[in-house]
Amino acid sequence: MRASVVPLRAWVVVLAAVAVVIGMAAWASVAAGEGQRPAARSAAAAAAATPARPTATPSRSSRPPGPVIEVTGAPGGVKAKGAVLADAATAQVLWGRDADTERPMASVTKVMTALLVLQGGDLGRQIRIPKAAVTYAWKYGGETASLRPGDVLTAQELLEALLLPSGADAAYTLANAYGPGMAAFLGRMNATAAQMGMKHTHFTSPDGLPYPTETSTYSTPSDLLTLGLAAMRYPAFRSIVDLRFYHLPKGQGHHQYWWDNTDELIGSYPGAVGIKTGYTDDAGHCLLFEAIRNGRALIGVVLDSPATGPAAGAKDAATMLNWGFKLRQTG
């Protein structure tokens, strides 16, 4: 296990967030749908709402300078080994635990995969599911979206399959399509992480599966905070990760699919709007999360919450959010 000994400082994350904004201004425009969507939608309804899926750059960030939340105390009872909580509008860090220590983050990895697809754009692109995607997911014991080899889905639909049921088969399919090829895609994942200032992050898979080793794909709470801030600037991303489930009716070239969101906060924690779960034996329960309450958005990460139950990461996240929302805003 790799570990950084640099202590957490709020200004480090602020500078990282600024670097994200500067770097992303040069990135390619992406396809995005504006606004929030209902908890479930059909493909026909989606097409009617956004018939052409126009391309758009990520939404601009306007972060006021300086701290705006008065931090007192710390959240009690958080069991995660690594954690961080920040104001999503300013990137002000409110609390952290070993936030610069490198740990495996399991399927939280898929947020970077989604970000690269969004950068590539053309979310209406038709992609055929290869048999190798299904074989890969089953070989390494990954969660799947139960994709059928030979089905043809759009990149947008594959993002739903990637982010909601956490499909390793969807990750494999998107990585090979957008690389093109797995090696090229992994190279882009690591290059993008470096560009974003995520100095303690490395990817060896597009999904966080323990390949080739349990800890070869790793990150830190601070780096994943940077990733979460970047991904949530895309309306197309936000409109997926806050869904409780997604239904894709049977259509020309593909079977019917139902995909439930693995994020236990969605639908149970008031104001939760995402973002992504993860779990392996070595990584423990991981969660990159965001919630909005009374106009305040908080974003955070938990890594390696002990496996006390399927919602272990969500319980830690809820504890942190409850504490954060009680803090007084001073500016």
Model confidence pLDDT, tens digit, residues 252-270: 999 999 999 999 999 999 9
- DSSP 3-state of 289: strand
Model confidence pLDDT, tens digit, residues 266-313: 999 999 999 999 999 999 999 999 999 999 999 999 999 998 888 999
Tokens of 72: 């007192």
Residue in 61, 107, 222, 305 annotated catalytic: 107
Please give the full DSSP string across 54-121, using - where no structure is assigned.
-EEPPPP--PPSS--EE--S--SS---SEEEEEETTT--EEEEESTT--B--GGGGHHHHHHHHHHH-
pLDDT at 308: 85
326 catalytic per annotation: no
Task: Find out whether 229 and 15 touch, Cβ atoms under 8 Å.
Answer: no
How far apart (Å, rounded) are the C-alpha atoms in residues 170 and 159?
Answer: 7
Residue in 29, 131, 166, 326 annotated catalytic: 166
166 catalytic per annotation: yes
Please state, rounded to an integer, the average pLDDT across all residues of the chain: 85
pLDDT at 310: 80
Model confidence pLDDT, tens digit, residues 127-178: 999 999 999 999 999 999 999 999 999 999 999 999 999 999 999 999 999 9
131-139 vs 168-178: helix crossing angle, rounded to 10: 130
Model confidence pLDDT, tens digit, residues 16-59: 343 333 333 333 333 333 333 333 433 333 333 333 443 435 76
29 catalytic per annotation: no
pTM: 0.83
pLDDT at 14: 35
Model confidence pLDDT, tens digit, residues 223-256: 999 999 999 999 999 999 999 999 999 999 999 9
